[in-house]
Amino acid sequence: MSEETKLRELICTLAKSMFDRGLTGGSTGNISARTPDGGLLVSPTGTSFGRLDPARLSRFDAQGVLIDGDAPTKEMPLHSAFYDTRTSAGAVVHLHSCHSVAWSMMPGVDADDFLPPMTPYAIMKLGRVKLLPFFLPGDPAMGEAVRGLAGKRSAVMLANHGPVVAGKDIEAACNAIEELEDTARLAMLMRGYDARMLTPDQVQALVTKFDVEWEA
């Protein structure tokens, strides 16, 4: 089995896992990954994470030309923006996960540091998450907003829409976006309580020990 065939199957397996656990529903969400030759495999437009076909994934060459498969997701500008600004990006995942969307609608959420410091793992896997404003689905301006971050964030939250996370590979990106959703769920559960967050010193210790990107 070729490396690309393995990657195609892994994309579909991880997407179905997220769908089956309710992290994105219907035909929402999109996913992409770098191929060994520098191209991209991308989920097609209008497809469900629960029923992706490895053979029908959109296939781009290293120059960004669609060479095989179905038409790609309309959120390609969003994916391209991460790949173009983060050389370490090997995969990008976008979900419509419920708790992160709910948290994006709460008053007082810090746009520059979307997730409260509740557990070490969100800090380790995501760094600071940037909350971006609302855009119409498919609006190329979403990609431009990501480009405006100049590669300094691996994760953004689209207000009233859903999270987008880039990772070194497809498994890292999926693990990180699940951590984002879990942390948003914790934030919603603890809202209104005097919850004990990680202290600034504890956060800094995590950043230092695990070499976390932690842009202000």
Cβ atoms within 10 Å, residue 133: 13
DSSP H helical segments within 55-148, as ranges? 76-85, 98-104, 120-126, 141-147
Cα-based distances in Å from 87 to 31, 72, 145, 164, 211: 18, 22, 18, 16, 17
Catalytically active residues are 75, 121
In degrees rounded to 5, what are phi and psi of residue 111? -65, -30
For each of the domains in the chain, give its residue range(s) and CATH number, in order of start. 3-209 (3.40.225.10)
Residues 206, 207, 212, 215: is their CA dihedral positive or negative?
positive
> Considering the entire predicted model, what is its pTM?
0.96
Question: Helix (H, G, I), strand (E, B), or coil: what is residue 103?
Answer: helix
The per-residue pLDDT for 1 is: 76
Could you list the pLDDT tens digit for every one of the 216 residues in the chain? 799 999 999 999 999 999 999 999 999 999 999 999 999 999 999 999 999 999 999 999 999 999 999 999 999 999 999 999 999 999 999 999 999 999 999 999 999 999 999 999 999 999 999 999 999 998 999 999 999 999 999 999 999 999 999 999 999 999 999 999 999 999 999 999 999 999 999 999 999 999 999 876
CA distances from 73 to 76, 77, 126 (A): 6, 9, 24
